[in-house]
Amino acid sequence: MSDGSCIYNTPRSRRMPTKCNYSVFDRFIPYRPCFNAEASYTKIFDHQNGTGRVKQPAQHQDPRLRYYKKLLDAVFKKTNQRIMAITQRPQSEYSNPMSPNRSFFTAPMDNLFAAPPRRKRRYVSKSPICVMDLPNIRNNFFTNNLDWGKSNKIAVALNMTTYVWDFESKRCLAIQLGTAGTDQDYITCVAWNPNGTAIAIADTHGDITVCDFGCSLVEPQPDLKKRSTISIIRWSENVFYSGDYDGGVCKYDPRVMLSAVTRFGTHHMMVCGLAVGPAGTPYFATGGGDGYVHIWDTRSTKVFRRIHAHTLLAKALAWCPWRKNVLASGGGCENGNIRLWNIHTGHMVGEISTQSQICGMLWSEEYHELVSSHGLTRSIETETNDLILWEEKDFTFEPVAKLQQHVGRPLHLSMSPDKTHIASVGADEHICLWNCFSSPSKEDKIPATVVSPVMLTGHIR
């Protein structure tokens, strides 16, 4: 009978006197003596945190911020009270300020002042799942003789022969372009098209051969002749771009009989790196032996941005897949830094020093990590021969794992179509397959971008 919500269900003669103020409620509104209107209103309409960003689940927040918030709640005695509270929760002897057993630092407070929890570092296997021999592979920093196609086939070039190894069936097919007459006759680069149905092969003579992998007979196309040696080829839909030893940058369309060749321009020195922008962007980047990175606009065939990225040799280039305006570049042994660039402004937004030659880089969109392969050090007498996984957050790098298997510097890197495995080819005549990015758990998976509730594209309910 003491509950004010039941007083009108009792006859007038049986009503017991209570201490409630009957003027604050009526017969249609339940009596809630512990109801805090201001705190409840704040909880209902608090959609955003203090920084102005959309509030994310606790498991995706920074543990240091959660730890600091707990300290503030303890200092200001913020209670986790329910919105429509009728009764208060029972107080323990530690929460009662008049309890004789209460100390200045209670047991819950001692837990708050402990060290903040650290993020659980995910496990990365340090051993490759497969190691195969590649006899007589060239220790040439300016070649790009490895590519993993969408058809789950790995192409590796040795001298004048390209070997295609099926990752699923474990079968190998050899594509012979010609006989190596001299030691200067060899394949310089291979590249699969986006569908994994054709492969482009270039050699030191400047010949570019586009092979339909389903055909048994492969014939070179004489109209794709280039005077200078091709150093790198990268596909973009049905066309591909190339860079040569003379610094020239060209675009080829192999679908027409007389392939249309578009010349973009030249570097002051040879082109040793090339990266095509993510889908939906009309840009691609080239790195030269002079350390400059050129951002080209495919709509005007002109240099959109010219960046002096490194002292010498800007070979390793990798376009960030979730930030289309960010490009990563790696320098040579004289300037072994990994740098992030905003292509629209040309400003550097992130940097990490490795003190070694950077041969290749790859991004993992699932984990927001960067893989880099390292060779010669600054002394040019020692090698690191490591593959390092970097966690990139807010344009800062933190090492996750170091993969040490190659005896010679890992010259080439390529990622599987499902973005879970990495293939590396080293000067030690070995190819290693690494399972670096397995399917993530809920704790490790990067949360998707949360849509603000005030955006017009979001849902109201």
Query: What are the helix and strand counts (H, E) for the chain?
Result: 3, 27
Residues 6+ apart with CB under 8 A from 64: 116
What is d(CA 305, CA 325) in angstroms, rounded to the nearest whole number? Answer: 12
Burial (0-12, 13-18, 19+ Cβ within 10 Å), 191? buried
Of 182, 236, 168, 188, residue with least CA distance to 411: 188
The secondary element (H helix, E strand) that includes residue 43 is: helix 37-45
Q: Are strands 348-353 and 369-377 parallel, antiparallel or unpaired?
A: unpaired
Contact 342, 283 (CB under 8 A): no
Of 339, 344, 384, 377, residue with least CA distance to 361: 339
What is d(CA 446, CA 330) in angstroms, rounded to the nearest whole number? Answer: 25
Radius of gyration of the chain (CA): 32
Contact 410, 375 (CB under 8 A): yes
Within 70-152, strands assigned E span 130-133, 146-148
3-state helix, strand, coil in the chain (%, to 5): 10, 40, 50
What is d(CA 114, CA 66) in angstroms, rounded to the nearest whole number? Answer: 13
Amino acid in the structure at residue 123: Y
What is d(CA 336, CA 372) in angstroms, rounded to the nearest whole number? Answer: 11
The pair of structure tokens assigned to 302 is 């002109």
What is d(CA 324, CA 169) in angstroms, rounded to the nearest whole number? Answer: 35
What is d(CA 55, CA 66) in angstroms, rounded to the nearest whole number? Answer: 12
**Where are the domains positioned within the chain?**
1-46
What is d(CA 109, CA 173) in angstroms, rounded to the nearest whole number? Answer: 67
Q: What is the pLDDT of residue 33?
A: 67
What is d(CA 231, CA 242) in angstroms, rounded to the nearest whole number? Answer: 7
Q: If DSSP codes are grouped into helix, strand and coil, which group holds residue 31?
A: coil
Interior angle at CA 71, CA 66 and CA 75, nearest 5: 145
Q: What is the pLDDT of residue 65?
A: 75
Of 246, 284, 242, 298, residue with least CA distance to 267: 246
Q: What is the side-by-side order of every strand in the sheet holding 316-319?
A: 316-319, 326-330, 337-342, 348-353
What is d(CA 212, CA 194) in angstroms, rounded to the nearest whole number? Answer: 13
pTM for this model (two decimals) = 0.70
Amino acid in the structure at residue 188: T
Contact 189, 183 (CB under 8 A): no
What is d(CA 363, CA 321) in angstroms, rounded to the nearest whole number? Answer: 7
- Please report the sign of the dihedral spanned by the C-alpha atoms of residue 117, residue 122, residue 123, residue 127: negative
What is d(CA 12, CA 10) in angstroms, rounded to the nearest whole number? Answer: 6
Q: Are strands 348-353 and 430-435 parallel, antiparallel or unpaired?
A: unpaired
Within 277-382, strands assigned E span 283-288, 292-297, 302-308, 316-319, 326-330, 337-342, 348-353, 356-364, 369-377
Q: What is the pLDDT of residue 50?
A: 47
What is d(CA 460, CA 454) in angstroms, rounded to the nearest whole number? Answer: 9
- Max intra-chain CA distance, the chain: 117
Burial (0-12, 13-18, 19+ Cβ within 10 Å), 276? buried
Q: How many CA atoms lie within 13 A of 295 on its CB side?
A: 24
The per-residue pLDDT string of the chain (461 residues; one tens digit each, 9 = 90 and over) reads: 444 444 444 444 444 444 445 455 566 666 666 666 666 666 666 544 444 444 455 555 666 777 777 777 766 655 556 666 666 555 544 444 444 444 433 444 444 444 544 556 688 999 999 999 999 899 999 999 999 999 999 999 999 999 999 999 999 988 887 766 677 889 999 999 999 999 999 999 888 888 887 654 455 555 566 678 999 999 998 899 999 999 999 999 888 765 678 889 899 999 999 999 998 899 999 999 999 999 999 988 889 999 999 998 999 999 999 999 999 999 988 888 999 999 999 999 999 999 899 999 999 999 999 999 999 887 777 889 999 999 998 899 999 999 999 999 999 999 999 999 999 999 999 999 999 998 765 555 554 444 444 343 444 43
What is d(CA 233, CA 238) in angstroms, rounded to the nearest whole number? Answer: 13
